Amino acid sequence: MRSLATTSKPAPTTPQSVLMRFLATQAAAKNTGGSENTATGSSALYSNLGGIDNTATGVAALALNTTGNNNTANGVDALFSNTIGVNNTATGVQALLNNTTGRRLSEPQHG
């Protein structure tokens, strides 16, 4: 496993051989099985357990993500409440703050 950590504690470990980057205090603190994630900012990807291919930049970006994949959060609290949502992009302070699953409630009406 290859990890880069500049935190107050060592980078989390996982059983897979993966590359992950955690650059801040408590970034990806609970990570156990996720891979190919990048967390920059205090508590970014804090709760990630098995999420894959996520990028969190900013304090508490994607903080509650547990198994969501392919998400990008840029900004303080961006995608904060996301837990299992996939393929989301949030840019800006508190962008998609309350998104949890990323599922559309209804299809848009055309025409």
Is 108 within a domain? no
Question: Given this model, what pLDDT does residue 71 score?
Answer: 95
37: Cβ contacts below 8 Å, ≥ 6 apart: 20, 21, 28, 31, 45, 48, 51, 52, 53, 54, 55, 56
> 90: domain range?
1-101
Q: How far is CA 106 from CA 3, 28, 92, 109, in A?
A: 40, 33, 25, 9
Q: Over the stretch 40-99, which tens digit does the pLDDT of each residue have?
A: 888 999 999 899 999 999 999 999 999 999 999 999 999 999 999 999 999 999 999 999
Is 42 within a domain? yes
Is 66 within a domain? yes
- If one counts the domains in the chain, the total is 1
Which tokens hold the place of 42?
A: 């205090």
Q: Over the stretch 12-26, which tens digit does the pLDDT of each residue have?
A: 554 443 555 666 666
Is 109 within a domain? no
Is 106 within a domain? no
- Say yes or no to pLDDT of 9 above 60: no
- Say yes or no to pLDDT of 4 above 90: no
Question: Given this model, what pLDDT does residue 36 score?
Answer: 87
Is 7 within a domain? yes
**CA pair distance 66, 69, nearest whole angstrom:** 9
